[in-house]
Amino acid sequence: MANSARRLPRLLRSTASEAPVYGRTPIGRSWTLESASGRQFSVGRVQKKAANKGGVSRAWNKDGCHIDRTRPTGSGHGWGARSTAKRSNAAPLIGVVAVVSAVTYVANAVKAGSKQAQDETDDGAVQVHSDSDDDENDEGSQGKIRLAEVTKHDRNSDTKWIIRGTSVYDITDFVDQHPGGEVILRACGGSIDPYWKIFNIHEKPEVYDILKEFHIGEIDDQDLGEDGQINWKVLGDAAEDFAVDDPFKYDPERDPNLIVRTAKPCNAETPGNLLDSFITPVRLFFVRNHLWVPRTHEAPQSITIELSDGEEKTYTVDDLKKKFKQYTITATLQCAGNRRSHMSKATHGPTSGLQWDVGAISTAEFTGVRLRDVLRDSGCGVEDDVPSPHQCDDEDADKHVHFSSPSDTYAASIPLQTALNPQADVLIAWDMNGEPLDRDHGGPLRALVPGTTAARSVKWLGHISINSEESTSQWQRRDYKCFGPNVKQKDASPEVWEKAQAIQETPVQSAITNIIKDDDGKKLTTRGFAFAGGGRSIIRVDVSADGGKTWKQAELQKDKAKGSRRWAWTLWSADWPTDELKKGQEHEFVVKAVDEAYNTQPEHFESIWNFRGCLANAWHSVRYQVQ
Amino acid sequence: MANSARRLPRLLRSTASEAPVYGRTPIGRSWTLESASGRQFSVGRVQKKAANKGGVSRAWNKDGCHIDRTRPTGSGHGWGARSTAKRSNAAPLIGVVAVVSAVTYVANAVKAGSKQAQDETDDGAVQVHSDSDDDENDEGSQGKIRLAEVTKHDRNSDTKWIIRGTSVYDITDFVDQHPGGEVILRACGGSIDPYWKIFNIHEKPEVYDILKEFHIGEIDDQDLGEDGQINWKVLGDAAEDFAVDDPFKYDPERDPNLIVRTAKPCNAETPGNLLDSFITPVRLFFVRNHLWVPRTHEAPQSITIELSDGEEKTYTVDDLKKKFKQYTITATLQCAGNRRSHMSKATHGPTSGLQWDVGAISTAEFTGVRLRDVLRDSGCGVEDDVPSPHQCDDEDADKHVHFSSPSDTYAASIPLQTALNPQADVLIAWDMNGEPLDRDHGGPLRALVPGTTAARSVKWLGHISINSEESTSQWQRRDYKCFGPNVKQKDASPEVWEKAQAIQETPVQSAITNIIKDDDGKKLTTRGFAFAGGGRSIIRVDVSADGGKTWKQAELQKDKAKGSRRWAWTLWSADWPTDELKKGQEHEFVVKAVDEAYNTQPEHFESIWNFRGCLANAWHSVRYQVQ
């Protein structure tokens, strides 16, 4: 049987919606399969071919349809791996590829020289016990499968098994078809359950149906506990490697001052009263993770640039340090969802995602090399004078630089024009506040795209390429977009998503972070930050103690920031003699800022409300009882 | 007597305020004089030395103080001339130099080889009739002065006279001290009255007092008409050259469709219903002039770059065309005061300046060369990688490119960083919509600074220099600034002016320009423009038919614009089926736009109100009775 005939139909598109996963856009979906001839199949039409106990379950389309791979083979596994959405079919795949590909945190990096699992076998037949007949412990009673046997079929084995509940599945043939890419390898040789708890997009009948095709047996009773669940302890010392009960268990310790919005993945903001230093100490820098944090040996130690001829050029941190001019940039990073909790109080209703207060923003000094310099050195063929998409009808003019962490656990893109602009200061950075980048903030290497929403400053950066489309990741095509205030989540058709622009530069923003009464009670001081994207400096901050009826100008703190433009926030303060306030009454302190293009903040959230709750930059008001 | 002892004290600073002149900031002032030792004098302390009829009036400071010239000598006259504020003392001089220097439209360009008038004579004594004793007509009766005699003392004479009313003044020694620079030469040999009618800053006792010092006599009765005023006809054919009754008489014809806000100088906007073509025809392009329009032979035919060593490099239009790569940029130019009339209706009260509706904005294709290329070629020593003012404490890092039209009739500056950014597309342009730039729009050469308020795209561009401060012109330091909504004109201290940032990039803006009912009455169509500065494209336009309670998204017209970024507006339209509107009722149609940095427009004018009425970009609403 030819390989092509055994492949699974390509997962084509998603439609249904589902509850949000850790604050990410809820984009659960049902799968539709497509044959090479364009015919579409529901999951139920996939033919069950064989499901023998202890044997191999194989499924293929009865039409023997050709399947376009959405991921190239031979690009390596684990933290060094990556996926590239097939250009011609990228659009309809956005949701599927992007979302599920988030899960490629494959522990235990590729063992050198091990046979890579993408190579398809010529025949599906696998003798389960072929190499373990001599090991009695591996022999399942009554044809059942011992846990120790399953553990042998890990990512490095020719045949890859997973456990769901107490059932065992051989997914060897499915790995290449997995819309989420190679992340699924991480579960091989163990249970997939902890991953599905995180990526609960899988928890639906259609997915169970697909999995059913690959069922090969049940875990032997000897390896079950009294509760009927797997007892990993039977593996002895090896238990820890396979009983992945908590993928977050290696996450770094965090400062207890941070306000944790979700623990797993860790999303934690800096408390307002600690936002008043121009440079935020690393330990207090807000944390925004979409997954668990890679362990030091899992994170990429180099950057690979994909060249136009398909070749690659790799730079280690040392290469970067030696070869290119180093720059230090003072940059404020802000989550696009900062102040979302304020927008959620608008009359239009709540928004989806992490309900940040004012602290999903921090400032640090980042050191690295200009992406521009590395791209030009790599031979990827970029010109200094990149043609503008406005200037010509040439589709190639609209190019994007894609950043991805290993195995597309996270991916995003920025316009090539930004990358090449020497005044845009886009860095590949290894240093934060004078120390090597820590794990939580993307070490050893991250992208730094100053003046742009933090979601584009990809952490654990391993791979860079230039493409004619934006990244197809969900973080580019879904999560970080805004819509008109009239667009409810239920109205968000694919066309609406497509039409909305991925957030890059961010609008002017400000917040009150602190109200302090001086010792003798004669003065209140309001303090806060103001920040605009695109390197636009803050030129004025207006403050009010009466809800915006009257204003005065705040004092702007004169901190020097490094960089070609103003990439850092401006801290401000305003004093209010208490005898000018009304004692015993609640005052509504308000702040709004003006950037160098005289952009201002909207007064209310209603006019900028969007169901994603992004870019919540209406005036910030804080009620305070004057004593 | 040494020259230094005869010079007038330097005009130091201005304080008083006055009614606006043609929509410009009212910044009338009283003069304060300063000696080299730092002592200040009121005007009254200037000593009158001699005031003989038919002789010469001279004035100097009794302390014999040294006078810093605020303008260099030897820089030529007329359209090729220029002024440079003395760096070390620029700040306190801002108002004076800038405002009055507006008046340097010196007609009748320098006659080649004529002795330049800046050369000071060694002695103040001038024999009025020394070279005209043989001409009986020049002889004034009873020591009075004949008009023909006055005309000899024009800008090319060693001694320069002017007439005010029927009095004659020898201002030879004052020319160098005139805060407005050499423009005063234009009046020499004739009456200064028509100029003072325009620059009515002069119409105050302090100025009269200064002038009084230079009085040398009265016009002979033979040259007066029955009304007691000067009868220019006595000069015969030469009358036209000296009887400047209307400096605007050579202004070009304008299209009658333009809505004229002021005729002299011409300020006229494009009517809304003609703003609906992506490229505005030149004849309909809004006109914003601060003075009369130079005649073709008066406008500079070349650009002179001032180099750091004081040398100059000059490029003719042909030089530019031959030497540099040419670019065509589609750019929208908008007056910073566009929509000012809307802001004036805010509860905070009216604003000063031209009360534009929506039409002080237009779009054209401009062709020219990049300023960056010319600067680099000129040898003025700019580096590609200009240090940022944020990056270092070096004051030199904060540099500005100054543009001026001849004799500083208009001057403004932009950050050097903008000029050098290849993606900023700053041009020296000679062509507009495929035709040579016409007179009204700055021909033969103008600056084009796309994405920046039109006031920086200096017309009739003749001179460029790089300085460590912004231009000291009033159009840089005064007129084009915004303030907090709490700052009233009376509160605008010099510190307040200084602190406010000169407008460069402009915020997101939009307007409804047209509401059209279709033939069968079933549909209303609202049309308009949206535009943001800084090359930020418009990504969404929200429209409402109920005053902003509910919204929908307008259709964005997909016009290609040439340039590295989106420098052109985006036209939009939205249809409203009439059966969804309430017949017979007035609807409030509203528009607001979103730019690519997700900046939005403020809902009301109150929060952005500024007494200058600049950058009026609140939501635009139009009430319309649905029939």
Give the distance from residue B284's alpha carbon to the nearest chain A alpha carbon, in angstroms: 24
| pLDDT at position B298 | 84
Residues of B with Cβ-Cβ distance to A500 under 8 angstroms: 539-540
* B426 & B563 share domain: no
* A207 & A324 share domain: no
Selecting from B482, B551, B560 the residue whose C-beta is nearest the C-beta of A390 gives B560
Rounded CA-CA distance A320/A302 in Å is 9
Q: Which domain CATH number covers A495? A: 3.90.420.10
Q: Which two tokens stand for residue B350?
A: 């009216």
| A277 occurs within a structural domain | no
- Tell me: ipTM over 0.90: no
Half-sphere exposure (Cβ direction) of A458: Cα atoms closer than 13 Å: 26
Residues of B with Cβ-Cβ distance to A607 under 8 angstroms: 542, 548, 592, 600, 603
Cα–chain center distance at B214: 30
Give the residue among B505, B487, B507, B506 at the shortest CA–CA distance from B497: B487
Give the residue among A596, A456, A602, A496 at the shortest CA–CA distance from B540: A496
Residues 6+ apart with CB under 8 A from A492: A483, A611
Confirm if B593 and B532 have CB atoms less than 8 A apart.
yes
Q: Which domain CATH number covers A91? A: 3.10.120.10
| pLDDT at position A393 | 55
Rounded CA-CA distance B588/B358 in Å is 17
* B323 & B403 share domain: yes
Residues of B with Cβ-Cβ distance to A331 under 8 angstroms: none
Q: Does B376 touch chain A if contact means CB atoms closer than 8 Å? A: no
| pLDDT at position A69 | 26
| B393 occurs within a structural domain | yes
Give the residue among B409, B411, B404 at the shortest CA–CA distance from B104: B409
Q: What is the largest CA-CA distance in chain A?
A: 89
| A299 occurs within a structural domain | yes
* B517 & B492 share domain: no
Residue where one domain finishes, among candidates A499, A517, A548: A499
Q: Determine how β-strand A463-467 pairs with β-strand A302-306.
A: parallel
| A237 occurs within a structural domain | yes
* B34 & B161 share domain: yes
- The size of chain B, in residues, is 627
Average pLDDT, chain A: 78
Residue where one domain finishes, among candidates B472, B496, B520: B496
- How would you class B586 by CB atoms within 10 Å of its CB: exposed for 0-12, middle for 13-18, buried for 19 or more? exposed
Segments of chain B with pLDDT less than 50: 1-138
Residues of A with Cβ-Cβ distance to B568 under 8 angstroms: 390
Q: Give which of B600, B603, B614 to mutate to test A binding, by max A Cβ within 10 Å.
A: B600
- The size of chain A, in residues, is 627
| pLDDT at position A205 | 85
Confirm if B461 and B446 have CB atoms less than 8 A apart.
yes
* A232 & A370 share domain: no
Residues of A with Cβ-Cβ distance to B598 under 8 angstroms: 482, 503, 505-507, 615
* A216 & A293 share domain: no
| Residue of chain A with shortest Cα separation from B595 | A507
Domain that holds residue B525: 509-625
* B403 & B269 share domain: yes
Q: Does B507 touch chain A if contact means CB atoms closer than 8 Å? A: yes
Rounded CA-CA distance B128/B143 in Å is 11
Selecting from B534, B551, B607 the residue whose C-beta is nearest the C-beta of A485 gives B551
| B537 occurs within a structural domain | yes
A603/B615 Cβ within 8 A = no
| B252 occurs within a structural domain | no
A600/B602 Cβ within 8 A = yes
Backbone angles phi, psi at A370, to 5 degrees: -75, 130
Distance between first and last Cα of chain A: 83
Q: Which two tokens stand for residue A385?
A: 């004078």
288-327 of A, contacting B, C-beta below 8 A: none
B485/A388 Cβ within 8 A = no
Which helix (DSSP H) or strand (DSSP E) does residue A477 occupy?
Answer: helix A474-477
Q: Does B393 touch chain A if contact means CB atoms closer than 8 Å? A: yes
Q: Give which of B391, B486, B560 to mutate to test A binding, by max A Cβ within 10 Å.
A: B391
Q: Check if B392 is active-site.
A: no
pLDDT digits (tens, 9 = 90+) for A188-228: 999 998 888 777 778 788 888 889 999 999 999 999 999 99
Residue type, B300: P
Q: Per DSSP, which regions of B486-566 are E strands? A: 509-517, 523-531, 538-544, 552-553, 555-556
| B123 occurs within a structural domain | no
Backbone angles phi, psi at A453, to 5 degrees: -55, 140
Give the residue among B256, B270, B254, B264 at the shortest CA–CA distance from B289: B264
Selecting from A393, A423, A599 the residue whose C-beta is nearest the C-beta of B417 gives A423
Average pLDDT over residues A32-57: 29
**Number of folded domains that form chain A:** 2
Confirm if A286 and A270 have CB atoms less than 8 A apart.
yes
Residues of A with Cβ-Cβ distance to B590 under 8 angstroms: none
B551/A486 Cβ within 8 A = yes
Q: Does B394 touch chain A if contact means CB atoms closer than 8 Å? A: no
3-class secondary structure, A242: helix
Q: Determine how β-strand B555-556 pairs with β-strand B509-517.
A: unpaired
Residues of B with Cβ-Cβ distance to A537 under 8 angstroms: 390
| Cis peptide preceding A577, ω within 30 of 0 | no
Contacts by A486-492 with C-beta closer than 8 Å and gap 24+? Answer: A486/B542, A486/B550, A486/B551, A486/B552, A486/B553, A487/A610, A487/A611, A488/A611, A489/A17, A489/A352, A489/A611, A492/A611
Q: What is the largest CA-CA distance in chain B?
A: 89
- A/B interface, count of CB pairs below 8 Å: 150
* A404 & A444 share domain: yes
564-603 of B, contacting A, C-beta below 8 A: 564-566, 568, 592, 594, 596-603
A607/B539 Cβ within 8 A = no
Q: Check if B178 is active-site.
A: yes
DSSP assignment of A11-30 equals E---------BTTB------
Backbone angles phi, psi at A375, to 5 degrees: -60, -45
pLDDT digits (tens, 9 = 90+) for B30-83: 222 233 333 332 222 222 222 333 322 222 222 322 222 222 322 222 232 333
* A166 & A195 share domain: yes
* B281 & B313 share domain: yes
Q: Catalytic residue numbers of A?
A: 178, 202, 288, 335, 480
Residue type, A434: G
| pLDDT at position A181 | 67
| pLDDT at position B384 | 62
* A291 & A237 share domain: no
Contacts by B156-161 with C-beta closer than 8 Å and gap 24+? Answer: B156/B111, B156/B114, B156/B115, B156/B117, B157/B117, B157/B188, B157/B189, B158/B115, B158/B117, B158/B119, B158/B121, B158/B126, B159/B56, B159/B121, B159/B126, B160/B117, B160/B185, B160/B188, B160/B189, B161/B188, B161/B189, B161/B216
Confirm if B305 and B464 have CB atoms less than 8 A apart.
yes
| pLDDT at position A381 | 76
**Partners of A47 in the β-ladder:** A60
| Cis peptide preceding B444, ω within 30 of 0 | yes
Residue A168: band (very low, low, confident or very high) from pLDDT cuts 50, 70, 90: very high
Q: Does A395 touch chain B if contact means CB atoms closer than 8 Å? A: no
| pLDDT at position B611 | 95
Q: How many helices (H) and strands (E) does chain B have?
A: 12, 29
32-91 of A, contacting B, C-beta below 8 A: none
Q: Does B506 touch chain A if contact means CB atoms closer than 8 Å? A: yes
| B501 occurs within a structural domain | no
Q: Which two tokens stand for residue B435?
A: 């035709």
Give the residue among A463, A450, A229 at the shortest CA–CA distance from A327: A450
Rounded CA-CA distance B60/A521 in Å is 59
Residue where one domain finishes, among candidates B442, B467, B496: B496
Selecting from A422, A565, A602 the residue whose C-beta is nearest the C-beta of B603 gives A602
Buried b or exposed e, range B286-296, using 16+ CB within 10 angstroms = bbbbbbbbbbe
